[in-house]
Amino acid sequence: MIEKIKNKDAVIGIVGLGYVGLPMAYTCTSAGYKVFGFDVSDEKIKMLEDKKSYINDISDDQIVEMYDNQFNATSDFKLINEIDIVVICVPTPLNQYKEPEMDYIISATNSIASNLSHGTLVILESTTYPGTTEEVVKPIIDEKNLTIGQDYFLAYSPERVDPGNEKFNTSNTPKVVGGCTNDCNNFASEFYKNILSSDVHLVSSPGVAEMEKLLENTFRHINIGLANEMAIICEKLNLNVWEVINAAATKPYGFMPFYPGPGLGGHCIPIDPWYLSWKIKEQNYITKLIGTSSEINDQMPEYIIDRLFSVLNKFKKSINGSNIVVFGLAYKKNISDYRESPAVVIIKRLQELGANVTIVDPHVAQINSPYEVVEKIEMDSLNNYDLSLILTDHKEFDFECIVEKSVYTFDTRNTLNRHSNNDYEVL
Ligand SMILES: NC(=O)c1ccc[n+]([C@@H]2O[C@H](COP(=O)([O-])OP(=O)(O)OC[C@H]3O[C@@H](n4cnc5c(N)ncnc54)[C@H](O)[C@@H]3O)[C@@H](O)[C@H]2O)c1
């Protein structure tokens, strides 16, 4: 395996070609490996065959480049038997009871196990609770009468990709790896060393690697919860929370700034900590900080609506019947991902309350979504709206102009970074 990896003879299979899997496939083809991308979505396979990308971080040109570099997208899992290293990047959502939805990992592992050739290395990258690799994935493969360390190798390595991040991508972000045996560790770390420009950090087991990923995202979840609570407190004390955070951030040690916003979004931060809460209930332990920060973060969209009542009230207006233009549907800047986006919750509530909402989002407008989204709006038309509401700080938006041309603006992202302002309102 080590020789095959070093000589670029190893054939790589990426199972799940989404926000994580597609950049991973690009990284592997760029490093000189032959790559098969597997997905159950015929629509995605068709788009890739037509050399079209469906995520921001990979362009159409990069898809062409991938095909030029020995890439193939397929839904035929029999081709797994041609693969030396399989990387699983399938979704890990929650069900309606905030419990892990493991069906994707189970079904992907079943497809892999049924077609595995001798000596294949399987790596799980999906974010999940500690124990998944050894308690869920391994037993499915073992059932095929295959022995770990002889017939196949298994490791966990969390994906840390941060969509829209212009500095860090799959290739230059350090990678943590935890294998089930020494060979699993060696093969998996050799693989990543050959495709990434960053360091590989080996840990003693898949469980440590699974857990450290949940620590990373729980850390963000709780600190964003703290920033959001600070925003609520500061508003009651008539202080500008952004000025407070920026002042605290001048401390060169012991403080790391996190910022408030209209709520948590995306496929990771609102979801991953619940994997941990669920798992540890098995040991009769109830997580406390995760529940508390979720409560704060989950109430932010409703808090924004409360603030909008007050903002419109200043102009003797109600939400009912108001024309509101919303800037941004995606959960964070410069991407098109609107999954779990607080903007979706806020817009739905505004519509329920009788507002006429126009949504502007240059990123979401470019993809298929169930929302009526315009790519841009004439700045001179903003005075036809009662309010401009900034929910996502996409780089395409001219915030100075929005504030200047709007009747009034409520900015949940402090886009102009001003500490005192009378002509618009900041979260
Ligand atoms: N999106 C992120 O920023 C990010 C960052 C780090 C980690 N993660 C984690 O990575 C994992 C994947 O997330 P994502 O955002 O790429 O999800 P995604 O929904 O964008 O992509 C997952 C892909 O897997 C495919 N799929 C589902 N079941 C399959 C199966 N049985 N076989 C083959 N393909 C299958 C889907 O069709 C989809 O294309 C999740 O565990 C997520 O928590 C995501």
pLDDT in tens, 31-66: 999 999 999 999 999 999 999 998 888 999 999 999
| Cα radius of gyration rounded to whole Å, the chain | 23
- Asked if 331 and 340 touch (Cβ cutoff 8 Å), the reply is yes
Cα 21 to averaged position of ligand 1 atoms, centre (Å)? 7
- Ligand 1 nearest-atom number relative to CA 22: 16
What is the structure's pLDDT at 375?
A: 96
pLDDT tens for 198-225 read: 999 999 999 999 999 999 999 999 999 9
The catalytically annotated residue of 89, 234, 268, 401 is: 268
28 part of the active site = no
Cα 193 to averaged position of ligand 1 atoms, centre (Å)? 23
Residue with the two structure tokens 């989404």:
18
Close Cβ partners of 227 (under 8 Å, ≥ 6 residues apart): 241, 245, 258, 259, 260
User: Of all protein residues, whose CA lies closest to atom 13 belonging to ligand 1?
Assistant: 91
Q: What share of the chain is helix, strand, coil (3-state, %, to 5)?
A: 40, 15, 45
Band (pLDDT 50/70/90 cuts) for residue 267 is confident
Cα 71 to averaged position of ligand 1 atoms, centre (Å)? 19
Q: Give domain limits for the chain.
A: 2-203, 219-426
- Ligand 1 nearest-atom number relative to CA 268: 43
Nearest alpha-carbon partner for 227 in 412, 68, 61: 412
- 143 burial via Cβ count (<10 Å: 0-12, 13-18, 19+): exposed
Among 44, 45, 90, which residue has the most ligand 1 atoms within 8 Å of its CB, making it the best to mutate? Answer: 90
pLDDT tens for 333-385 read: 999 989 889 999 999 999 999 999 999 999 999 888 899 999 999 999 999 99
User: Of all protein residues, whose CA lies closest to atom 32 belonging to ligand 1?
Assistant: 108
pLDDT tens for 303-312 read: 999 999 999 9
Among 15, 39, 56, 75, which residue has the most ligand 1 atoms within 8 Å of its CB, making it the best to mutate? Answer: 39
Cα 126 to averaged position of ligand 1 atoms, centre (Å)? 7
- Ligand 1 nearest-atom number relative to CA 158: 7
DSSP β-bridge partners for residue 374: 360
Whole-number average pLDDT of the chain: 96
pLDDT tens for 166-188 read: 899 888 999 999 999 999 999 99
- Ligand 1 nearest-atom number relative to CA 128: 41
Tell me, yes or no, if the two domains 2-203 and 219-426 fold the same way. yes
- Asked if 289 and 226 touch (Cβ cutoff 8 Å), the reply is no
> In the structure, which protein residues have their CB atom closer than 6 angstroms to any atom of ligand 1?
15-21, 38-41, 44, 89-92, 104, 107-108, 111, 126-127, 159-161, 163, 267-268
Buried b (16+ CB within 10 A) or exposed e, 321-336: ebebbbbbbbbbbbbb
Cα 37 to averaged position of ligand 1 atoms, centre (Å)? 13
Segment holding 115, helix H or strand E:
none
Domain topology for 2-203: Rossmann fold (3.40.50)
pLDDT tens for 60-95 read: 999 999 999 999 999 999 999 999 999 999 999 999
What is the structure's pLDDT at 323?
A: 98
Instruction: Detail the DSSP E strand segments found in 367-426.
Output: 373-374, 387-390, 409-411, 425-426
User: Of all protein residues, whose CA lies closest to atom 11 belonging to ligand 1?
Assistant: 126
What is the structure's pLDDT at 61?
A: 97
- Give percent of the chain above pLDDT 70: 100
Cα 95 to averaged position of ligand 1 atoms, centre (Å)? 16
Question: How many beta carbons lie within 10 A of that of residue 194, not counting itself?
Answer: 18
Question: How many beta carbons lie within 10 A of that of residue 253, not counting itself?
Answer: 5
Domain topology for 219-426: Rossmann fold (3.40.50)
Among 45, 46, 89, 221, which residue has the most ligand 1 atoms within 8 Å of its CB, making it the best to mutate? Answer: 89
